[in-house]
Structure formats: structure tokens, C-alpha cells
Amino acid sequence: MSIRVAVDIGGTFTDFVCLNESTGNIIEEKAHTTPANFASGVIDAVGKSKINLSEVQYFAHGTTVVINAVTERKGAKTALVTTKGFRDVLEIGRANRPDMYNYFYKKPEPYVPRRLRFEIDERVDYKGNVLQAVDEHEVRHLAKQIKAENATAVAICLLNSYANSAHEQLIEQILAAELPNVEITTSSSIVKVWREYERTSTTVLNAYVKPAARLYLNTLDETLRELGLETQPYAMQSNGGTATFNLAKEMPISLIESGPVGGVIGGAALGKVLGEENIITFDVGGTTAKTSLINRGEVKITTEYKLEWTPQFAGYPIKTPVVDIIEIGSGGGSIAWIDEVGILKVGPHSAGADPGPACYDKGGNRPTLTDANLITGRLNPDNFLGGTFKVSLQKARDAVKPIADHFSISVEEAAMGIIKTATSNMLNALKLISVRRGYDPRDFAMLAQGGNGALLSPHLAAELKVKKLIIPNLPGTFSAWGMLMTDLRQDFMQTMIMPVEGADLNKINEIYDEMEQSAYAVFSKQNIDPSRIMLMRSAEFRYIGQEHAVAAPVGAGKIDQEALYTARREFDRLHNHHYTFSLPDAAAEMVNFNLTAYGVVNKPDIKKIETKTGSAEDALKSHRDVLFEGYGKKNCPVYNRPMLAPGYKINGPAIIEESKSVTVLCPEQLLEVDAYGNLIIEVMAEV
Amino acid sequence: MLDPFTRENIAQGLLAAADEMFYTWGRTSQSTIIYEVLDYACGLTDAEGNLIGQANGATMFLGAITFSAKAALRKFGKENIKPGDMFLTNDPFTGSGTHLCDVAAVLPIFHENELVAFAVNKGHWNEIGGKNLGSWSTDATEIFQEGLQLPDVRIYDCGVFNESVRDIIAANSRTPEMTLGDLYAQTAALRIAESRVIELLGKYGRDQVVESIEHILESGRKLALIELSRMPKGEFFAEDVLDTNANGVADIPIKVKVTITDDSMEFDFTGTGDAVFAPINCSIYGTYSGARIIYHALVSPHTPANDGFYSPLKVIAPEGCLFNASSPYPVSCDWEPIQILTDVVKKALASAMPDRVPAGHFLSIIGTIIGGIDDKSKNPFVLVEPQAGGWGAGHNKDGERGLVAICDGETFIIPVEVCEYRYPVRVEQFAFNPKVGAGEHIGGHGLIRDYRILNSNAALTTMASRHKHPPWGFAGGHDGSINDVQVHRSAGGYESRATWSNEPLAGGDLVRFISGGGGGYGNPHNRPADKVLDDWKNQYITATEALEYFGVVIDEVAQTVDEVQTKLKRQI
């Protein structure tokens, strides 16, 4: 009874990772994702692994169901209830125009059309005082209108409800009684923070996906039970922690980035074992590259998440916490093309899995990054995905030929050009998460993951100038492995603006008490023993007159003047770090009070691998020519990763192959296998 | 000869340097107008001041970088610009372009004592003196009332900081600490860009970097020419009026002749009215910035800004006209002439290139200040914000509802909940203004925002053009609706004006901002009946309006279109 399972549904594949704690054995499986009924892909993967679910003691699940329902607009017909005079807030948004020169810019289309946005004549002021009470008759009349429109979900977001949520609750009660089959979400049950547009957007999206999420989680839960699962399964939330399915059904919006966060949490967990507190994760799959930063062991969380945001599109704000990940449309399947004035571009269009890169020979004839990697010898046509998949070098060359012809260069040179361009895009994303946020990459280790992470990262790690690069075991399914390392997590936020000088300490203690009681209540519903609950407080401070705030940790227990000043000083320090200045003598105020509650679950030990006497030469299987920027063609030794053992060293250039991934060690780099089987690369010289 | 991929890597490196400068300034500034409103720009030029790449948060700064660098070259001469120098300018008439609050800093970058590039940035300083707090007003009569003028001063001379200039700046500002903070943050950002360019020079060598710069400019020019080749050629005319009524000035005629050939696009503003003694003039460099905005939008909105791309653009504005004012004409609301400039060009080209031009939008930023002394705290409060409004319909879409104007960009309106917390006001509604231009595609809705004053006193300053002359529709689409600022007195009655200057308000008074709806596109009778029904269901129009404007008869009980009656109606 010591088996842990994580299932991660991605766009193309459903990854399955199973860890047997007593032996330390890990099984990984991939099944095709089945969008028509996601649960069947999960069942496929479980079946393939031949695991007996009744022996499983921990089951974590990452899912794209929520984000798909939102982006494909397959959620419920949703009504919105607002304060009188404000039903258009959802559509007005913040009125910004990121696509500045485009007269044909289209704003984000609201998830609730105007006819389904209803107003109630009520009003609360910013202090929470009631100026106009709710008339229950008006609400009952409203219920009839919602019924007539056949809406199956309702979002309620009233002005200043972060200061007093009584009206939202009253309206919810009445509507719940009148409309028994309708799912209702109040803004105050999701986030008690100010800024009406952002709060309304979050509430609406939660309501919009609630029916679909409930159905999905119920179906999966039943199926897993039929297959013998006895333990309670957990859903991976965007905040990097898990929640029971029951809780996730009430707040499905917290699953919006359920998939990609596993790799970041895994990065933090692995970093802890290796003594690396500062990590930049770098995950390259078929269509995208994702990067996140872990500072002093802490995963960065943002409450500024915007769904579908691009530099030219405002996106939809979601105020529930999300692990801060930067994602760009650049991966193995990204297509290379020549723009109007003759400059080579790679991505964001991707050949996907079908038809896939030209070398797959499945009808795709446009050149991709994977084709370029094949031509330059980085990938081995005879050992693609461990030899399970036959690829055509000729098709790859044919596809790259037009690009070579355009520049009057060889196909090899054109392939190098594609790699150079794609990695330059990725380097920009890596700089965005590090240098541009005030972090020095030389203080960080990079952790590569995803199907293409190990292939591209040695070169990028050198360009970014990180201190070292880690290629973990099974980099292709690392994100699912990371899900095995998670705790339950719930976040609570309360907006309350208060100056630090003359702060109302009673009020602060009251806010934290209330949030902590809610945390205990939530975890007790999830059967978590109180001794397993860990609470972390913070408050968002700013200098008076500023708009943006910086979160600083707040001590546990009763807050007195001294505790408050300690937090304030920490804010000054953090402000200096993020914004290069601090104003220790200026008046400051607190804007939001936050509580993060963890329900700590037992986590597996990461086991060391068997040592051997010998050297890397024992794992040598062949040699092949690989083209490197600035070095030309180099004959490289090719090693079989499973044969490597702790302490083995390899000098670059070299290729290290495993069944679902390839590491391309650049010239002048040095690789050493650590006690756990991770490949640790000194990136050294610039390449 | 450089391989094309390395050349592109260097080019990306240069653009990244401009971007990083932008992020750095945003992060390090203490001024909300920089880090929240993004009212600033950063860029790199070559040794002649030609723009290589630029990052900005508002469109108004499109000419800021290049003309500021060229102004320094003109004033001092290349041979007198030395390593360690830095120049400051906010002189609208010699190159800085926009109002005095926008201060540009110019830093020359050297490689082995050869000037190879300039890093330039420009942003809105919170306070630079003048007759009004915040330095801009809607009733200045000369530029001397609008703040301190910095006509290309050498603030660093071979690395030595000029403390005398610093002291003059500090002495002329109501918030000296914050103003100097702006200066220091701006300088730090320039240094970041300088070090990135020097890194590139070190890594690739001077010749390769210069070749890459030339290639950026050449690619930009090529791309512009490709787009020009796709446009109709000839002369196009339009006129309009600027109707702010500031300081009581009458409507000012605005005229343009646009000439498009295979390799140029020329805007000739001859015939536009003369400069006036109200802060609605702009300098020739402000005019260049405005011309670049509309040129950029017309030619290729997603192409990165550089002087190669802008090289086909020619601008003619006779000296002394509204678009080429000189000292002492005031310029603090120069966004008004700059915006109508973009709009009149668009209007001239609308019928000729409907695929690139939508109908007119609400156009005015409706820059607003409501300020006073808070009864309770006795501290001053100042609510400063732009209003958003309705955009014009295009050949393929309805207009957008509630977006900031063309001179703004990544500019955010203030949340109601933040306003109510911070200022003694209650927002009583924030909703769509139902009046828009009818059409096959309808104009976007403007907004109505009501502020009830909860303080014993306050003052209102604001300016809204398009107060009498609404945004234009075309191709059969109707005109949109006007901008209006109303003061409803608690004692009853109200007054409606385009421009208010320090208007006293009392507790209980209500200020209503109404931004205009965009113009429509196409004959309203061609709007599909089911879309008109949707508009009715969404309560954008009444059944009467459906009939009057769109010729659609709606059965209000069945909530359907009466097809037979509609057909009859639309045949007429």
C-alpha cells in the first residue's frame, strides 16, 4: 500500500506516473488525450500501466478540462447579477488597448452577453456600510427572468462586496431556493479583493465552468472507484497545491492552469533534495515552451493572471492565485517560415502531433524545429522516441530546402538558422522571467523538462548564463512526477486598506482569525487532521500614493505593534529587491491580507540510484556527427542514459539518449551524474 | 557579409535592449503615471538619430525618440557629443514634440570613441511647475504658464552630473523629490540599454552591429513599400473642426490632403486654422508623432517602429498653423490636435481603403482632474484619469465599446471601487451610452460615468472635443454621438460643456462624463435582421429604433423579427 499515482492530461498526451515507494521504482506511461471524454484517456493510461488502483494511497490529477471549457466556449449559459448601474462593467473591462496601432482591435468578448446581465437596486459603500438594502421581491422577480432565459449558472458580483458580502449571500440564498438546478457563484466566496472588473471576471468564469467541471470530476471519480481506487483523489490547482474533488467542484476556476504547474512544484521539490534553492524551470513540449522561477525554494505565485493574454490582447483576468509561468508558442513542432521581407521566423504556428513535423512523414511538409534537430544530428532518426517511431531524414531535408534556397545556403546551415531563431525566442522568455524581474541568472540552476527540454537547454543555459543545468530523470513526464510532491493548498484574500501608522491591530487579528477559521473548516471537510495544517500569512503593502503593492510575510499568532513593524521592514526590503528602491521613512499602507493554508501530505523519499564501478565509457553506444553553432560539425559520442551511474562524467560535445528524451551536451561543457541519477551540467563557456 | 541569422540575432538583441529599458523604468519609477499608465517610451537610434527600435505604452510617443536625438545632434554637433554626456529636453518646438510634462533624456553610446547609437527615453513627469498642480491645464494662454522648459540641456557632461540644473528642476517643481526620482529612474534605464548595446558590440564587433542596424532600417523600408504598393494611389481630401471651445476659441478648421504614390505617403495640412491662445496647439514634432500614428496604423499596425518603416512618410504643416505652433503658444492639451490629425487623415482615406480604415471614434482623451481638500483628512485629493469611449465600425466588424482613445494605448481606467476608496466621491453609474452610429456594422458604445461629490468642495478641469461634431460614419453608416461633460447641481439644473477649467463644485453635485459612440459603417438596412434582434434583446436599441434606423420590425411579445413587415419596410 505505498503506491502513488499522478495523471496529467495535456493537449496531446495524457501522462501517467506511478511511484512505488518501497522499491523506488517509477513507471511512466503516455496515452492519447481523448477530448470527447477525458476520463477514457485516464483509464487507458491506468490500464497500460497494469497498476492495481486499490493499492494506490495517493492519487493526484492535473486536468485541462477547465481551461478547455473556457477557451473553447463550451461552458454553461451564465447569468450575472450586479449592482444597479454597473452591469456593463464586465464588458467595459479596463478599456486598455494593448494592440496600439490596430484600428480593428477586438476586445475580449464577455462570457455573459448584456441580456443576461441583471441589476439589483442595492448599494454598499467602500467601508461596507449598507446604503440601499436588497429588496427580496426584486430578487424573486429576477429568478423568474433567469429561469425564462434557461441559464444554468449564475454569477453574483456586487460593488464593494469585498468589504461586506451580506448582500451577495442573501441574493444567493434566495436564488438557490428559487432555482434549485442552477449553479451559483458569489464573488465573495472566490476572492474578497477590490477592483470590480477583475473580481467580476473571475466570478463569471467560475460560474461558467462549474457545471462542466462538476460533471467531469464526478464521472472520473466514479470510474476510478469502479477500477478499485479507495483513497480520495486530489485535483491539481493552479496555485501549486491540490484540493479534493469536492472542493474543486465548488471552485473550478482554481484548476485553470492545473496542468503546467506540476513541473514547477516538482522543480521546487527536487531542488530541496539537491540543495538548490534557486531554480529556473524550463519545459519545452511540442507546441510551447514554459518557464517559471523558484526563489529561495519558493514557487512564485501571481494574482495578476490573465487568460489568453498576449502582448496584443488584454485577456481575461482571474484573481485566484496561479503559479507564475511564462509560456511562448515555441516547441518541437513549431513551423519555420519566411516573412514578407525575407526574415526567417519560427512559430507560433505548430504542426502539432498530426500531421506533425515533416520527418514524421504523415503529410506535414512544412519545416519544424524537430526537423532541424534531425538534420543537424541532434536527434537520431533510428532512435526517435526510443526507436518506437520511424522518422524520415529525407522528408525533413525536403521541407527545409526552400528555406536554404531562399538564403542560398546549405540545408544544414538553414537548419542551424531555424534552431538559432527558435532558441532566441526561448531565450527572451527565460530573460523575461529572470533578468527583467530583477533576478541574476548566475544565482540560479536551470531545470530542463518536457520532450524537448533536455535537447535545447544546454545551449540556452549557457546563453542565459545560469550557474548549472539539471536534467532530471524522465524529463518527458516530469510534470506528472511533480504532482506526486504536492500538498493541499487553499488561498484566502481580504482587501482592507489600512495605514501602517495607527493600524487597527484588532481588525487585523480579526481578519486573520476569520481566514484561519475558514481554512480549518475547508480542510476538515477534506478530512485533513488539524496537526497537518500549516498556515502562512502575508500582507500586501505599498507606499502611500502608489498603486501597486508588494506582499510581505506576516508572523503567526497575535499581531502586535512589533510584529507589524517587522512585516513593514520586510516590505521595504522586498520593494528594494523588485523595484530597486525603498522608502523606509515614507508612510506605507496595507491593501490586502492574505492567508495560504497547506494540508501537508506525506511525500515519497527521492531515492538514490545504484552506484557502479566503471565510467561513462560503459554506456557508450555509438558516435555521430552533430552540427554546433561556432564549432561546425563535431563527431560526438552517444551514450545510453540508463547505463550511467553516479559520479560518471562526460565531456561535451556528446549526446545522451534515453527512451523519450535526448540531451545534447555542447562543446566545452561538462556533465556529471549525481547520486539520484540527475545529469548535472556545468554550462561554463558561452556557446 | 554577416549570415542572416546572426544579423537577426543582433537585431533582436537591439530591440530587447529597448524593451528592457522600458521594463526597467516601469519597475523603478516612483511615479504612478509611469508605472501604471505607462505614459512613456524608450528606444534606440543610430548615430544619426534614426530610430532602430522603440517600446512604448502610449502611441503619442512615436516621434519622441528620434526627434529628441536629432535635436541634440543639431544643437551640439556630432563632434561635440562626448562619452559620458546626457541631454534633457522637453522643448516641444525643437524636437521633444509633446507638452512640457514629457521630458526626454538622450544618452550617446560609444564604441572606441566612435558614436554608434543613442539610447533615448521620454516620459510624463508628475510635476514640472507652471500655473497648475500637475503642470497641465485646459486654460493656459502661453507656454510659460505650463512649466519649466529644458531646451536640450547637458545634464551630464563627460560623466559629471550638472547639479545646478538639478537644483533648478527641483526649485521649479511642487513635488521635487518625485520629479528628481523620475529623472534618476529614467537615467538608470538608459544605462541598462547602453550596457546591452555595448555587450552586443563586444560580442559581435562594431561592423556587424552597424550592418545589422542598417538591415533593420532597410527591412522596415521594404515592408512599408510592399504595403504602399497594395494601396490605392492618388490625392485624398478631408476636413473637420476642433471644437473644444477652450478659452472660448471658436471651432478651428482642420484640413488635409493625403497623397499616396508608389514610394511615399504625404500629409499636407495646409488650410488648417492658425495656432490659438488656448492649450490645444502642437509643435511640428507633435504633428510628426501624430502623423506616424496614423501612418503606422494604415500601413502595417504590427510592424515594429523604425525610421526605415517611416521613411516614405512626408508631412507638410505651414508655420503658424495649429499643427506647427511656436513659442509662446501653449501646448498642454496637445493630444487634442494630435488626435484630430490622425482622424482627419483616416477620414480622407476611408472610402478609398475601407479594409484599413474604420469609421470615426470618440477621439478625445477627456483628460480629467477632480481635486480639492478632503473635509475629513484636510489633505488634498486629486483624481486624474482619461475616459474611454466608443470606436468606429469597420467593413468587417461593429465598433468596440469602451476603449481608450488613439493617443492612449496600454492605459487603464481606474476601478470604481478604487475611486470610491481613495476620493470623496460615489460613482453612481458606469454604463454604456446607448447612442451610437447606426450601420450595417454599428459604432461602439461610449460610456457614462457619474461622480457624486461627497466633499464640501472640489474643482473640475477637463476637456472634450467632438462636443458638437460627432464621430463620422461612412459607406452609408450614420455618425456616432458626441462627448459631453455635464455638471448637475444638487440644487437642480445642469450645464453641459466641452471644456471646464477649475470649475467649483459643491457637496452633492454630480459630474457626468458621457463619451461618444463610434460612427457606423454601411447602410443600416443591410444589418442582418437577427443581429438587430440581438441588439434589441441586449437592450442596446428599442423596438422603435430598430424600425427607425434599421427597418426591422420586432414582435416584442414573441421576441422575434416580423419577417414580412421587415421585408416591406426595407424595400422602401
Least confident of A385-389, B276-280, B315-319, B417-421: A385-389
pLDDT digits (tens, 9 = 90+) for B283-338: 999 999 999 999 999 999 999 999 999 999 999 999 999 999 999 999 999 999 99
- Burial (CB < 10 A; 0-12, 13-18, 19+), residue A219, is middle
Q: Where in the sequence is the domain holding A650, given as residue range(s)?
A: 260-288+329-485+633-687
* pLDDT winner (highest mean) among A298-307, A518-527, B58-67, B272-281: B272-281
**pLDDT grade for B1, boundaries at 50, 70 and 90:** low
Q: Are A155 and A148 in contact (CB under 8 A)?
A: no
CA distances from A535 to A556, A557, B172, B198, B424 (A): 8, 10, 51, 48, 37
Q: Mean pLDDT, to the nearest integer, of B34-58?
A: 90
The answer to whether residues A51 and A82 belong to one domain is: no
* Total beta-carbon pairs less than 8 A apart between chain A and chain B: 175
Q: What is the DSSP letter of A139?
A: H
Which of B1, B3, B5 is the best residue to mutate to test the A interface, defined by the most A CB atoms within 10 Å of its own CB? B5
Which of A87, A125, A341 is the best residue to mutate to test the B interface, defined by the most B CB atoms within 10 Å of its own CB? A341
> A344 and B8 in contact by Cβ < 8 A?
yes
pLDDT at A22: 77
The answer to whether residues A564 and A424 belong to one domain is: no
Type of residue numbered A401: K
Q: Return the SS3 of A461.
A: helix
Q: Is residue A605 part of a domain?
A: no
Alpha helices in A435-534 (DSSP H): 453-464, 478-483, 505-525
Task: Single out the residue of A455, A453, A280, A294 nearest to residue A372, CA to CA.
Answer: A455
The answer to whether residues A534 and A468 belong to one domain is: no
The answer to whether residues A501 and A430 belong to one domain is: no
Q: Is residue A609 part of a domain?
A: no
The answer to whether residues A11 and A91 belong to one domain is: no
Chain A contacts in chain B segment 386-405 (CB below 8 A): 388, 391-392, 394, 396-397, 400-404
pLDDT at A363: 87
> A91 and B447 in contact by Cβ < 8 A?
no
pLDDT at B81: 97
Whichever domain contains A44, its CATH number is 3.30.420.40
Cis peptide bond upstream of A653, omega within 30 = yes
Q: Where does a domain end: A584, A599, A614?
A: A599
A660/chain B closest Cα distance in angstroms: 30
Q: Is residue A241 part of a domain?
A: yes
Contacts of A546 in chain B (CB under 8 A): 30, 32
Q: What's the mean pLDDT when you consider all of chain A?
A: 91
A224 Cβ partners below 8 Å, 6+ apart? A42, A53, A59, A233
> B16 and A92 in contact by Cβ < 8 A?
no
A100/chain B closest Cα distance in angstroms: 5
The answer to whether residues A461 and A337 belong to one domain is: yes
**Is it the case that residue A660 has pLDDT exceeding 90?**
no
* pLDDT winner (highest mean) among A61-65, A329-333, B14-18, B161-165: B161-165
Helices B4-28 and B206-229 sit at what angle, rounded to 10 degrees?
90
CA distances from B345 to A95, A422, B260, B276, B282 (A): 24, 39, 12, 22, 17
CA B407 remoteness from chain centre: 1
Whichever domain contains A91, its CATH number is 3.40.1360
CA distances from B22 to A478, B18, B174 (A): 35, 6, 26
- Which domains can be identified in chain B, with CATH numbers? 4-222 (3.30.450), 358-525 (no CATH), 528-571 (no CATH)
Q: Is residue A666 part of a domain?
A: yes
CA distances from B372 to B369, B458, B501 (A): 10, 4, 14
Q: Mean pLDDT, to the nearest integer, of A61-71?
A: 89
A295, containing H or E segment? strand A289-295
Q: Where does a domain end: A156, A184, A212?
A: A212
> A98 and B296 in contact by Cβ < 8 A?
no
**Is it the case that residue A687 has pLDDT exceeding 50?**
no
The answer to whether residues A436 and A516 belong to one domain is: no
Q: Is residue A685 part of a domain?
A: yes
Task: Single out the residue of A640, A646, A687, A644 nearest to residue A661, CA to CA.
Answer: A640
pTM: 0.93
Q: Is residue A543 part of a domain?
A: yes
Task: Single out the residue of B48, B45, B47 nearest to residue B17, CA to CA.
Answer: B45
Terminal C-alpha separation, chain B: 69
Backbone angles phi, psi at A148, to 5 degrees: -60, -30
Chain A contacts in chain B segment 51-90 (CB below 8 A): 56, 58-59
**pLDDT grade for A287, boundaries at 50, 70 and 90:** confident
Chain A contacts in chain B segment 339-368 (CB below 8 A): 346, 356-358
What does the alpha-carbon distance between residue B97 and residue B104 come to, in Å, rounded to a whole number?
A: 10
Q: Return the SS3 of A435.
A: helix
- How many beta carbons lie within 10 A of that of residue A562, not counting itself? 9
The answer to whether residues A481 and A492 belong to one domain is: no
Q: Return the SS3 of A588.
A: strand
Backbone angles phi, psi at B13, to 5 degrees: -65, -40
The answer to whether residues A509 and A547 belong to one domain is: yes
Q: Is residue A620 part of a domain?
A: no
What does the alpha-carbon distance between residue B103 and residue A229 come to, in Å, rounded to a whole number?
A: 67
Q: What is the DSSP letter of B9?
A: H
Q: Are A475 and A453 in contact (CB under 8 A)?
A: yes
A676 Cβ partners below 8 Å, 6+ apart? A273, A274, A473, A606, A607, A608, A609, A646
The answer to whether residues A28 and A12 belong to one domain is: yes
> B297 and A101 in contact by Cβ < 8 A?
yes
Q: Where are the beta strands (DSSP E) in B101-141?
A: 102-111, 114-124
User: Measured at the alpha carbon of residue A350, what is the angle toward residues A344 and A354, in degrees to the nearest 5?
Assistant: 135
A348 Cβ partners below 8 Å, 6+ apart? A328, A329, A330, A334
Q: Does B225 touch chain A (CB under 8 A)?
A: no
The answer to whether residues A333 and A379 belong to one domain is: yes
Give the nearest chain A residue to B12 (CA atoms).
A424
Q: Does B228 touch chain A (CB under 8 A)?
A: no
pLDDT digits (tens, 9 = 90+) for A148-172: 999 999 999 999 999 999 999 999 9
A124/chain B closest Cα distance in angstroms: 11
pLDDT at B127: 86
Q: Mean pLDDT, to the nearest integer, of B456-484?
A: 97
Q: Is residue A372 part of a domain?
A: yes
**pLDDT grade for A686, boundaries at 50, 70 and 90:** very low
Q: What's the mean pLDDT when you consider all of chain B?
A: 94
A14 Cβ partners below 8 Å, 6+ apart? A7, A8, A30, A31, A32, A33, A34, A38, A41, A42, A44, A45
pLDDT at A1: 46
pLDDT digits (tens, 9 = 90+) for B29-44: 777 777 767 889 999 9
Q: Are B297 and B42 in contact (CB under 8 A)?
A: no
pLDDT digits (tens, 9 = 90+) for B85-131: 999 999 999 988 899 999 999 999 999 999 999 999 999 988 899 99
The answer to whether residues A475 and A493 belong to one domain is: no
Q: Return the SS3 of B537.
A: helix
> A101 and B429 in contact by Cβ < 8 A?
no
**Is it the case that residue A579 has pLDDT exceeding 80?**
no
- The better pLDDT of the pair A29, B102 is held by B102
What does the alpha-carbon distance between residue A20 and residue A14 come to, in Å, rounded to a whole number?
A: 20
pLDDT at A354: 73
Q: Where does a domain end: A551, A579, A599?
A: A599
ipTM score above 0.90: yes
What does the alpha-carbon distance between residue A637 and residue A648 come to, in Å, rounded to a whole number?
A: 14
Least confident of A218-227, B237-246, B283-292, B465-474: A218-227
The three cell numbers of residue A539 are 500582507
Share of chain B above pLDDT 70, in %: 99
Q: Mean pLDDT, to the nearest integer, of B558-562?
A: 96
Whichever domain contains A579, its CATH number is 3.30.1490
Give the nearest chain A residue to B20 (CA atoms).
A436
The three cell numbers of residue B414 are 481606474
Question: Nearest CB to A424: which of B12, B35, B409?
Answer: B12
> B415 and A548 in contact by Cβ < 8 A?
no
* C-alpha torsion sign, points A643, A649, A654, A658: positive
User: Measured at the alpha carbon of residue A494, what is the angle toward residues A117 and A92, in degrees to the nearest 5?
Assistant: 30
Least confident of A426-430, A646-650, B344-348, B371-375: A426-430
B67/chain A closest Cα distance in angstroms: 20
What does the alpha-carbon distance between residue A88 and residue A117 come to, in Å, rounded to a whole number?
A: 8
Q: How many domains does chain A have?
A: 4
**pLDDT grade for B404, boundaries at 50, 70 and 90:** very high
Q: Mean pLDDT, to the nearest integer, of B468-488?
A: 98
